[in-house]
Amino acid sequence: MAELTAVAQKVRQYMKEHEEEFLERFRHLHQHPEMSFQEYETTAYIREKLTEWGIEIMDVGLETGVIGLLRGAKEGPCIALRADIDALPVTEESTIGYPSLNKGVMHACGHDTHMASLLGGAQILAAMRDELCGSVKFLFQPAEELNLGAKKFMELKCLENPKVDAIFGMHNSPEIPTGTVAVKNGPLMAAVDRINFTIKGKGGHGGIPQRNVDPIVAAAAIIQAAQTVVSRNTSPIDSAVISICNVKAGEGTTNNVTPDEVKMYGTVRTYRKEVETMIDRRLHEITESISAAYGCEGSLEYIYELAVTENNPTLYDVAYAAVTGAGAQPVDPVPSTGGEDFSEYTSKSDVPGFFYWLGTRNEENDCRYSWHSPHFKADEPCIAIGAGTYAMSVFEAVEALTKK
Ligand code: NI
């Protein structure tokens, strides 16, 4: 193994000496979860900590969420670090010793681990400001769960003034063990699209079908045909998901009235633009043609909601070195068909980005439940690793970008 740089040694020492402080903040944040765009106390808490360490709070008119700026001792590139801060409407049932104090709200996706890690990273970077050639922008982003927080930050031009040269983010992962961090080249999380179907027929007496045009039979045929887009139109080497998750027709439990209309809602997940546009086209063809064949009128609203979270290959070596520098084990993960609004930062700008998964699985400690489960529990030692990985990402990126 390559010898540790002086910077990495210092970061590791700081991780060790301040771990208890990092964990105090994690426990506090875990106990005080807040819903998307309502993260008021969380925002005040983050502002207070950053200010304490001499990090400037950027005044961009945010109600919730914080953008902080740390200027290093010397000029250099600007690196952005992002963490999301919102919680979910879930009632906690985990075995953690310090459960949520906000009834019905829980950090069930572990965004508290991201905040605690980024606060730890900020504390390390502020303490090592003399060794920093460049600046760091801290993006504590609200409302990731609504896929709206990153959009809001982009509207506020969060990657400008100063112009960001590279951005890093992370999500915890209960799929990989504590002590590991996933470092993946290319697509890590899927593009997320929303599909809204309307099938219009002519309702009437369910016992006298010849007088009606039944949109339910047409909808059933559309549901069946939609499955063939993945099995017959998508290359076996590519991956895609089409799930119709919500079908609405008729009133209450009425059993003898054919309705005028069926509404259906679903989600599409893809990793490549070509596959995504093909699915958009095929679902339109299927909806319109099958509806017409059944005498109905069918329309599809296909909404591109989130782009793929795709790691920039130019940052792979930086990310790998950051993880090993922080003393964690890099692993090559299987991508997820979950989505992440981190993709807003990279797909709507020319800034290269890299997204990590921070391992939090520890079965002995009951840390094995998936995201959004009421039993979700993150393994505490992941926080120092997250903090170190954030801090090292800055030092490694500054070095790589300065060399160029
Ligand atoms: Ni999440």
DSSP per-residue string spanning 46-114: HHHHHHHTTPEEP-S--SS-EEEEEE-SEEEEEEEEEEE--BBS-------SS--SSTT-B-TT-HHHH
Q: What is the pLDDT of residues 165-185, one digit of tens each?
A: 999 999 999 999 999 999 999
Q: What's the chain's Rg over C-alpha atoms?
A: 24
Instruction: Report how far ligand 1's centroid is from the alpha carbon of 288 (Å).
Output: 36
Residue 260 burial (C-beta neighbours within 10 Å; 0-12, 13-18, 19+): middle
Q: Is the pLDDT reported for residue 147 higher than 90?
A: yes
Ligand 1 mean position to 140 CA, how many Å?
A: 13
What is the rounded average pLDDT of the residues 217-223? 98
End-to-end CA distance of the chain: 25
pLDDT of residue 245: 96
Cα of 328 from ligand 1 centre, angstroms = 21
Using the predicted structure, report yes or no on whether residue 1 has a pLDDT greater than 60. Answer: no
Which tokens go with 216? 């339910």
Inter-residue contact 394 to 126 (CB < 8 Å): no
pLDDT tens for 60-99 read 999 999 999 999 999 999 999 999 999 999 999 999 999 9
Q: What is the pLDDT of residue 404?
A: 66
Question: What is the Å distance from ligand 1's center to 64 Cα?
Answer: 17
- How many angstroms separate the CA atoms of 81 and 120, rounded? 12
Q: What pTM does this model have?
A: 0.93
Average pLDDT over all residues of the chain: 97
CA of 77 to the centre of ligand 1 (A): 28
Distance 403 CA to ligand 1 centre (A): 34
Instruction: Report how far ligand 1's centroid is from the alpha carbon of 16 (Å).
Output: 26
Q: How far is the CA of 28 from the centre of ligand 1 (A)?
A: 18
Q: What is the pLDDT of residue 224?
A: 98
Q: Which of 255, 235, 244 is nearest to 195 (CA)?
A: 244
Q: What is the pLDDT of residues 252-301, one digit of tens each?
A: 999 999 999 999 999 999 999 999 999 999 999 999 999 999 999 999 99
**Residue-wise pLDDT tens digits, 9-65:** 999 999 999 999 999 999 999 999 999 999 999 999 999 999 999 999 999 999 999
Q: What is the DSSP string of 137-190?
A: EEEEE--TTTT-HHHHHHHTTTTTTTTPSEEEEEEEEEEEETTEEE--SEEEE-
Comparing C-alpha atoms, which of 356, 387, 355, 380 is closest to residue 30?
A: 380
Alpha helices in 169-302 (DSSP H): 215-228, 273-293
- What distance lies between CA 134 and its chain's CA centroid? 27
Q: How far is the CA of 172 from the centre of ligand 1 (A)?
A: 8
Instruction: State pLDDT tens for residues 222-247.
Output: 999 999 999 999 999 999 999 999 99
Report the separation in Å between the CA atom of 341 and the middle of ligand 1, taken as the mean of its atom positions: 9
Instruction: For residues 370 and 359, give the distance between their C-alpha atoms in angstroms, rounded to a whole number.
Output: 12
Distance 171 CA to ligand 1 centre (A): 6
Give the Cα separation of 158 and 67 in Å (integer): 8
User: Could you give the count of Cα atoms lying within 13 Å of 93 in the half-sphere of its Cβ?
Assistant: 8
- What pLDDT does residue 163 have? 97
Whether the predicted pLDDT of 143 surpasses 60: yes
**Ligand 1 center to 222 CA (angstroms):** 32
Given a contact cutoff of 8 angstroms between Cβ atoms, the answer to whether 121 and 390 are in contact is yes
Give me the pLDDT at residue 51, please.
98
**For residues 107 and 99, what is the distance between their CA atoms, to the nearest angstrom?**
10
220 C-alpha vs ligand 1 centroid, how far in Å? Answer: 33
Cα 390 from Cα 114, distance rounded (Å): 10
Q: How far is the CA of 68 from the centre of ligand 1 (A)?
A: 21
Strand order in the sheet with 180-182: 56-57, 66-71, 133-141, 74-84, 166-177, 353-361, 180-182, 329-331
- For residue 107, the CA-to-ligand 1 centroid distance in Å is 9
The confidence score (pLDDT) of residue 372 equals 95
Q: Kindly report, residue by residue over 346-392, the tens digit of the pLDDT.
A: 999 999 999 999 999 999 999 999 999 999 999 999 999 999 999 99
Report the C-alpha gap between 30 and 307 in whole angstroms: 29
Could you give the CA distance from residue 196 to residue 162 in angstroms, rounded to a whole number? 40
Task: Name 138's bridge partners.
Answer: 68, 81
